[in-house]
Structure formats: structure tokens, C-alpha cells
Structure 1
Amino acid sequence: MATEKPTRRTRPADRKGQLVQHAAALFAERGYTQVSLADIARAAGVTAPSVYRHFDDKQALLAAAVLAGVDDLEACTGRALADDDAQVADLIAAVCTLGVRRPQSTSLWRWASQHLTDDQNREVVLRTRAILHRWAGALAQGTDLSEREAVTLAWAALSVAGSMSVHNTRMSTTRALEEVELLVRRVIALRPATAPPLPPLPPPGAGVPTRRDEILDAAAAMFAERGYSGVGVDDIGAAVGITGPSVYKHFSSKMAILAGIGQRSATRLEAGVVAAYASTADPAKLIAMLVDSYVNVITSTPDLSVSFNNSYALAGQPTAHDLVDLQRHYVARWVDLLMEAQPDLPRERAAVDVRAALSVVNDAIRMRRGVKRPEFGAQMAYLMKGVLDV
């Protein structure tokens, strides 16, 4: 009787690609610094040492994940605009499908620059810019859009398509795709050159800055430039002319500094809420005023973008619990107002709309895209209101 041969376990054909997919999903969900190689190995069902057969370290995995996302964007753009008869509708469908089904492909590269090398960033920027200019060409064809307007709309459309990665709204894939496509169509119908002026931010209150304010100012500027993980307490102290240990007289930890930055931005946003409610009770006008306030705050100080971009570091921290609640409450207020302004809009759709609108300006600030142009703030507010249809 012949003996039965033991079954040999076969290795997946593309273990490297599998690792990249799991890494991309984890990085997008938790942030680069909060994910370890062991986490990635566990998600892929392999041992940590086996990851090193394909990648030197975690940074190499991040670079591969980011470039894989750019590959996906190039591929879907190429398919949608493959021939002369290609329609903008085909491009919208392709990009939104990618954003909903593989959100890391349309979002991971947007915040990973601080963890990539100069050469890697250069490749990502050049390739992404080429993709967006192809989109802009398709959007401008047969319209009165200028090249700059078309590029602005292309970037905004990408932000909307990739916005599903920044929240966990429960919605079926089909409905999410329908909503994101609707929002992208709203975006491309806009004309940024017609954006009305942005109402100015009320003048700041008088008062001499304290050492605590100086520390927060310096930390916010450095976190914005180098990322939270790339800055130490000694760096912050040096920026304000004190030693690292002296910083601890004002803040118990670097995390406490980040929380302080978040609290300060929350206070500024709340001032905008109070001013809005003091002037009108109309929900559509209220949310439009909150858009103006948000854009004014995020363009006048790095606090808000730093708080938003590093929210993963605050998640789960007992000392930051109140701040996280404030941020959620602020976004929930937008959702409630949008539902009041549009009574037929279900909450899950309103939540998607609000996050998409916020992503437009958050992404532009994060990538420093056109932020020095005098019309930047006005155009961001105009695009956000267009997404929200207010």
C-alpha cells in the first residue's frame, strides 16, 4: 500500500504584494508611527522575520505602500482616459471606486511625506502631479475652465474621493460610492475663480504671550514641518531659548504639548461657533459661517492642521480624552446643521459630506498646495461650501 505524501504548504504567489496591502491598510488606519512590523506580519499571517525577506525595514514597507497607491491612481486614470472618446464620467467612476474600495490608494501618500526620503517624495510628487494634470485636462475640455481652475478642481476631487479613509461611517459600498460620486460631481461643476472673498477672522484678543504660548507656537511650527514623531522636547526648548527639562515646568510631556495645541485650536473654532450663532439661526447660513471660520483658523495658524494630522497620536490617551471629545463634537455639530439645512439628508450621508468638505482644505494645507496665493482661503471656503451644497 502506497504511503500518502504529506501535504506541502504553498507560499502565496505574491507575498510581497500581500505585505504591502496589509501595511497600507494599517498605516492608513493608525498612522505610521503607531504600526510595527509585528503588526503588519500578524495581519498578513506570517512571522515578523519573514517580512525581512522582502523589506529592509518599516520605512521600506511604507515607501512601497505609498508607491503602490500611486500605481493604482495611474492605472485607474489610464483605463478611464485610454482613448479620445473617454468621458469625464468614466474618470469620476474610476477614481471614486478606487477611493471607496481601496481608500489607502487615494489617501496614504498625502500624509506620508515626512516619513519618506527626498528621492521618494520627489517621485511621488512628480507622478501624482502628472496624474492630476491629466484629470485637469479632461475636466477643462469643452468648458470655460482655466488651467489653474481645472487643476484646483482635480485636487479637490481627489480629496473628496479619498475622504472615506478619515472616518468610519457605516454605509454600504454601493451607497458610499453613490455619495462620493455625487460630491465629486458637485466639485467639478464649480468655478474657483468666482469664489467670493473670505470674511476676515476677528482680531485676536490683547495680551502678552506667555512662555507656555511660546512653547505651543514653536511646537506647532515644528510638528507641522517635521511631524510629531520627528520633534523632541529638546528641539522645542531650543526653539524658545530654554533647555528641554525647562519645558517640563509648563508641560508634563510632548503629548501634553500636542494636546495643548489641540485645545488652543478647539478654543479658536468654538469662538467661531459662538459668533455664528450670535448672528443667525438659519442652519444653512450657520454652516457656511462655520466653513469660513474653519478656513480662517486653519490658514492663520498651524495649530488646527497639526491637531488634525496627529490625531492618531492622541487616540486612546487618557490625558487627551476631553480634546478628542471636543473634536468629535465639533464635527457632529456640522453634521447636525447640514441635516437641518437639508431635511431629507440621512445622518450617514451628512457625515460623509462633512468629512469630504473638511478633507478638501485639510489636504491642501497638509501638502502646502497653493497656500501662499492670496485667493487660497477664499477658494477653499468656496469649494467646501460647494461640496456641502450650502
Structure 2
Amino acid sequence: MTTRTDAPTRREQILKEAARLFAERGFHGVGVDEIGAAVGISGPGLYRHFAGKDAMLAELLVGISERLLDGGRRRVAESDGDPRALLAALIDGHIDFALNDRSLITLHDRELDRLRDTDRKRVRQLQRQYVELWVDAVRATYPELGEPDARAAVHAVFGLLNSTPHLGPAGALTSHGSTAALLHRLARGAFAAAGTGVRGA
């Protein structure tokens, strides 16, 4: 995800606080007034930005899926056909998400089924396209891996990288940089092990 240098809009502030509160206390455990208070506006004032909590949840979960796919496609376009560089860039991009948007991982795991069917299907569609970018990059880097094994390896690495909500509070991490580097080594090691396992079979 691209690092922003401009100040977040009020709408973005609302979404950030909604994600944090939903992740901490559950969708039904948070009221509109509490979200409003977190950004310094009245609860009813939120309705100038969103139709309600359902709309916030949909924008959060559809939005992050769109951003991950857009970021992945951008990295493909910038890779100059180097599969190893592309795979490294995809891993780094996902680690950036996993460390900076931990509440959205929790939110996805707990609340995806609360979305309307159309929004949930949209999330799944975006996720499938994102997975395909990774599968192609993995198979180009490790051509000995068949499609089913490459796909399984991608999902396993997602499970590894998306474990960040279980690492404790952000302040408990040694540092963003060292944690990112560790996750990158673990992800590359998992893919390498998958390829080596096929060669050694």
C-alpha cells in the first residue's frame, strides 16, 4: 500500500476509528455515537458521511480488498518481468498491510459474513484475483511447483502474514522494520521450501 503524506479526510478518520472499535469490541458492540466521539463529531453527524454502520463495514472490507489488488497489479507492472523481484515486492506489500492494518484482518475474520451478499461476493472476487497474482509469481519463481501446490503455498503464506493481530499490541513488537524483515524471511522460506520439496521428491 502506498504511504500517504497528506492528512486523512474526515471520512478516512471515521473508517479508521470504526475499524479499530469493531475489531476490539465486535460490530454489534459498538454504537454510532461511540464512533462519532472517537473522531470528535456527534453520532448523527456520521450520517453525513455514511448511511450507517453496515455501510462503514462494507467500505472497510471491500476497500482493503481493492487496495491490495490494485497494489499487487502495480507491482506486477513495475516488475520488468523479474519473477523473484515481483514475489519479493508482493510479500513486502502484504507485510505493509498486515502490520499497518491489523484491525482489518481481525474485522475480515470476524465480520465478513455480516456484509450484504453483493458486497461479500465482491470481496471474494477481489481476493481471488489477488491470489492469482501471487500464484503466477510463485510458479514463475519456482517453475517446479504445480498449480495446486503453488496455490496451497500462497494461502499458507497469507495465513502466516495475516497472523499479525496475534503478535500482541503494536508496541510489543521489537520494531516495525525488524518484524517486517522477519515476516519476509519466513514467507520466502516457505515458498523456497515448497519448491525444494518438489525437487527432492
Q: Do the aligned partners of 2:79 and 2:85 also contact (CA within 8 Å) in 1?
A: no
User: Which residue matches 1:235?
Assistant: 34
Q: TM-score, normalised to structure 1's length?
A: 0.43
Q: Which amino acid aligns with 2:48?
A: K
Q: Which amino acid aligns with 2:143?
A: P
Quote how far apart the aligned CAs of 1:287 are.
Answer: 1.6
Q: 1:223 aligns with which of 11, 17, 22?
A: 22
1: distance between equivalents of 2:73 and 2:191?
A: 18
Q: 2:89 aligns with which of 289, 300, 306?
A: 289
2: distance between equivalents of 1:332 and 1:315?
A: 24
User: Which residue matches 1:262?
Assistant: 61
User: Which residue matches 1:63?
Assistant: none
Q: Do the aligned partners of 2:135 and 2:154 also contact (CA within 8 Å) in 1?
A: yes
Q: Which amino acid aligns with 1:378?
A: A
CA RMSD of aligned residues (A): 2.6
Q: Determine which structure has greater relative contact order: mean sequence separation of CA pairs < 8 Å that are 6+ residues apart, divided by chain length.
A: 2
Find the residue that maps to 1:219 and give its secondary structure: helix
Within the alignment, does 1:322 sit opposite 2:125 as a pair?
Answer: no
2: distance between equivalents of 1:329 and 1:296?
A: 19
User: Which residue matches 1:212?
Assistant: 11
Q: How does 1:1-390 map to 2 (within 5 A)?
A: 203-206=3-6, 208-269=7-68, 270-271=70-71, 273-302=73-102, 304-310=104-110, 312-313=112-113, 317-363=117-163, 365-369=164-168, 371=170, 372-374=173-175, 375-389=178-192
2: distance between equivalents of 1:335 and 1:232?
A: 40
- Cα distance per residue 1:81-127 (max 9 Å; x no partner): xxxxxxxxxxxxxxxxxxxxxxxxxxxxxxxxxxxxxxxxxxxxxxx
Structure number having the greater helix percentage? 2
2: distance between equivalents of 1:315 and 1:267?
A: 16
Inter-CA distance 383–276: structure 2 relative to 1 (3 Å threshold)? same
2: distance between equivalents of 1:255 and 1:214?
A: 17
Find the residue that maps to 2:144 and give its secondary structure: coil
Q: Do the aligned partners of 1:220 and 1:302 also contact (CA within 8 Å) in 2?
A: no
Find the residue that maps to 1:243 and give its secondary structure: coil
Find the residue that maps to 1:381 and give its secondary structure: helix
Quote how far apart the aligned CAs of 1:347 are.
Answer: 2.1
2: distance between equivalents of 1:311 and 1:332?
A: 24
Aligned structure 1 segments of 4 or more residues deviating by more than 4 angstroms: none
Q: Which amino acid aligns with 1:292?
A: D
- Cα distance per residue 1:14-65 (max 9 Å; x no partner): xxxxxxxxxxxxxxxxxxxxxxxxxxxxxxxxxxxxxxxxxxxxxxxxxxxx
Q: Which amino acid aligns with 2:46?
A: V
Find the residue that maps to 2:21 and give its secondary structure: helix
Identity of aligned residues (%): 33
Quote how far apart the aligned CAs of 1:266 are.
Answer: 3.4
Name stretches of at least 5 consecutive residues in structure 2 with no aligned partner.
196-201
Quote how far apart the aligned CAs of 1:306 are.
Answer: 4.0
Find the residue that maps to 1:242 and give its secondary structure: coil
Inter-CA distance 217–312: structure 2 relative to 1 (3 Å threshold)? closer
Quote how far apart the aligned CAs of 1:319 are.
Answer: 3.3
Q: Which amino acid aligns with 2:42?
A: T
